[in-house]
Amino acid sequence: MASVGGNLLQRTRCSYFYDVVQPCNKRVPNSGCPAIDGYNRMHSILGASSKCITAHPSDMCVALAALDAVVHTTEPSGDRKIVLVDFHKLPGNTPEIETVLLPDELICSVELPPSTFAKNWCYLKVRDRASYAFALVSAATCLEIENGQIKSATIALGGIAPKPWRAVEAEKLLVGKAPSEQTFKAAADAALENAKGYEHNNFKIEMSRRTVVRALKVAAGGVA
């Protein structure tokens, strides 16, 4: 049976990572990343590096990122709290180091702080088939709406980055605006401003934009 801690620590679904005949910087540091010039349909368009372009596979972590979850850990020198958006590391030059956990550190619990968005939320997952499929793109959106204006917003994306991706600049753009398709499209553009596609996953850029817009519309109470 899966655990919350196991979900936080699940590893990449990159086929080159699992194929021990292939080089992989995550499996064998400095051996190369064949996904960059290989088959990369499921890979990242945000947050990748020249060392690794894998995408984090979790659905739960995307939702937790949108909910401002905090991971509680313990190790011999004491306990600490790690904001979930800081828990996973981007690959940079060390893709083999996936989280900020220390070698002797243990996850004890995950805390969800009180939310302010009540009913205005959505989790949308776009995938190849209806079940048992990892996300091509996913979006968790939360809106706090007061007097017809967005008071606060969170947008977390999955399937497109090496870690659950918070679209912070897009969130800022929404605050103080009335919920509308035009506003949501501007936020989606901001969220994907630095996206970089590869040969087989360029489609993810536009798919991600549309997923963000649709998820925000649903969160705001509109139709899907």
Q: Is residue 116 part of a domain?
A: no
**Domain boundaries, position 139:** 121-219
The count of other CB atoms within 10 Å of the CB of residue 176 is: 9
What gap in Å lies between CA 8 and CA 86, rounded to an integer? 12
| Tokens (6 digits) for 98 | 């996936």
Q: What is the pLDDT of residue 223?
A: 56
What gap in Å lies between CA 179 and CA 146, rounded to an integer? 11
Q: What is the pTM of this model?
A: 0.94
**Domain endpoint, select from 87, 111, 135:** 111
Task: Output the domain CATH number for residue 196.
Answer: 3.30.390.50
Residues 72, 131 within the same domain: no
**Structural domain count of the chain:** 2
Q: String of b and e for 93-132 (b: at least 16 CB within 10 Å)?
A: eebeebbebeeebebeebeeeeeebeebbbbbbbeeeeee
Q: Is residue 101 part of a domain?
A: yes
Q: What is the pLDDT of residue 13?
A: 85
Q: What is the pLDDT of residue 199?
A: 97
**Domain endpoint, select from 71, 87, 111:** 111
Q: What is the pLDDT of residue 130?
A: 87
Residues 165, 85 within the same domain: no
By the 8 A CB rule, do 88 and 56 touch?
yes
Instruction: Write out pLDDT tens, residues 78-122.
Output: 999 999 999 999 999 999 999 999 999 999 999 999 988 888 999
- All residue ranges of the chain with pLDDT < 70 are 1, 222-224
Q: Is residue 224 part of a domain?
A: no
Q: Is residue 152 part of a domain?
A: yes
